[in-house]
Amino acid sequence: MSERIDRDALIEVWHGYGRPRETWLVGGEFERAVVRRDGSPVGYFEPDGIRDVLEGLATDPNASWRRVYEGDNVIALEDGRASITLEPGGQVELSGAPWTDLNDLAAELLAHRARLLEISEGKDLVWITTGLTPYPRIADVPFVPKSRYDVMGAYLPSRGDLAHAMMKGTTSVQANFDYLDEADCARKVRLVSRIAPLTTAMFANSPIFEGRDTGYQSYRAHVWTRTDPARTGFPRTLRETYSHEGWVDYLLDTPMMFWHDGERYRPAHGVTFRAWMTNGIDGRWPTLEDWIVHQTSVFPEVRVKRTIEVRGADCVSAPMALSFCALFTGLLYCRRAMDEALALAEDFTQTGTVDERFAAAAQSGLDASVGGRSYASWARDLLDIATRGMARCHEAGLPMLQPLQARVDAGRSPARDVQEAWARDPSPGAFLPTIAY
């Protein structure tokens, strides 16, 4: 059994993280939802369901996936560098390998996309590229058979009325970036957390929910505000004065949803990890493995582990997802670009509150405004900075910014196209092809 841990030991773990600048990597995380051609949800156990999708991915002749089981059910695939996992409503997530070259990251994503489409050909399956599944009532979307989600599904609705919508309906794109040391981590966290509303606006792509146009550009972002305030958003004090010590304290004091007894996830009933270290649970004290599990149960727009996980974007098309990865590569991996972006972020956050800026992004996307300027205008300046950063530090990835550049130049979040397609004809036969992967 692993040794017991304490606060000082956990802080020391973070001080052991960090990579030399010349070895920095980028990893992408891409979630996708699938529906039937009539818009209905796809269950795990039904024919051509989520279990069959995983089995189809596992038998890819060009990959070497290992199946991961909970009981008799395959719930994930791993190959040592990447993984494919299931979100609560059957959304499939590729957590890609870390790469030095964005072109390798792109090749990985496109190969995964091709495999999904190959195993779905001729079947009643449509993979979609919006941040919310558009048709099913969330109550009708079945949970996948994971004990972790059984516990989450019981706990989170007590914290937010749209928690099940978050769990079973949302999809996003995320990316992971290295940092040199605590000071470099703090600068990157400050930048990413300050411009997070702009991230939401640029990639807003979830206006349709349960068969209606919600009027939001990113209803997914709105759903997150009604999930669990203790584990979403970002700690306000850490936006400006991030430290590894402060981050560990935030995690220690976040109420736990679950703990793992070696076989299954069990309810923690809101006990904090700090209290677990002090008092134990059922005569058991936490280990480093438990601490790693706990970190996966907080969902801020920036999550710090061995890498910095940049979150907050809706699921979008593959080209736009690659733009997301390229945008933050240009901003975070070029020192001059990061200096310029931090100055822009300082100006962007002078007006209103964090909650107000997020609410505007969720409601209006790039049409929102702050400080007398539209979010589209702020995004153009930010993208210019990222483009210069890419040109200096990662020129090979510059073409990946073009889909985002076109969006920002037009001042149109992807959600605008989705809303227009829905207004033309909301029937599944007409609408789903417009958002198909």
Which CATH number belongs to the domain containing residue 79 in this structure? 3.30.590.20
User: How, if at all, do strands 258-260 and 302-304 pair?
Assistant: unpaired
The residue ranges of the chain whose pLDDT is under 70 are 1-2
* Residues 45, 363: Cα–Cα separation, whole Å: 36
Inter-residue contact 185 to 202 (CB < 8 Å): no
* Residues 26, 237: Cα–Cα separation, whole Å: 27
**pLDDT the model gives residue 2:** 55
**pLDDT the model gives residue 383:** 98
Rg (CA), the chain: 21
Would you say the pTM of this structure is higher than 0.95?
A: yes
Dump strand ranges (E) for 275-370: 299-300, 302-304, 308-314, 369-370
Helix (H) or strand (E) holding 409: helix 402-410
Sorted by sequence, the CB contacts under 8 Å of residue 269 that are 6+ apart come out as none
Closest CA to 112 of 76, 74, 62, 75: 62
Inter-residue contact 324 to 258 (CB < 8 Å): no
Alpha helices in 170-314, H assignment, sequence order: 182-194, 196-202, 219-224, 236-241, 244-253, 273-279, 288-295
pLDDT tens for each residue of 288-338? 999 999 999 999 999 999 999 999 899 999 999 999 999 999 999 999 999
Range 76-83 contact pairs with CB under 8 angstroms and sequence separation of 24 or more: 82/108
**Residue 2: inside a domain:** no
**Residue 151: inside a domain:** yes
In this structure, what token pair is assigned to residue 408? 């920002």
**pLDDT the model gives residue 263:** 85
Exposed e or buried b for every residue in 322-357, given b needs 16+ CB within 10 A? bbbbbbbbbbbbbeebbebbbebbeebbeeeebeeb
**Residue 86: inside a domain:** yes
∠ Cα 212 153 144 (to 5°): 80
Closest CA to 312 of 232, 368, 367: 232
* Residues 24, 230: Cα–Cα separation, whole Å: 31
In this structure, what token pair is assigned to residue 141? 């979307």
Query: Residue 52's CB: how many other CB atoms inside 10 A?
Result: 18
Query: How many structural domains compose the chain?
Result: 1
Identity at 324, one-letter amino acid code: F
In this structure, what token pair is assigned to residue 84? 């494919």
Inter-residue contact 327 to 401 (CB < 8 Å): yes
What Cα–Cα distance (Å) separates residue 415 from each residue in 206, 269, 362, 367, 368?
6, 38, 11, 11, 13
Alpha helices in 44-96, H assignment, sequence order: 50-58
Range of the domain at 120: 7-435
**Residue 232: inside a domain:** yes
**Residue 390: inside a domain:** yes
**Residue 343: inside a domain:** yes
DSSP-derived letter for residue 332 is: H
**Residue 366: inside a domain:** yes
**Residue 1: inside a domain:** no
Inter-residue contact 297 to 84 (CB < 8 Å): no
Sorted by sequence, the CB contacts under 8 Å of residue 259 that are 6+ apart come out as 265, 266, 268, 276, 281, 286, 290, 293, 294
pLDDT tens for each residue of 70-87? 999 999 999 999 999 999
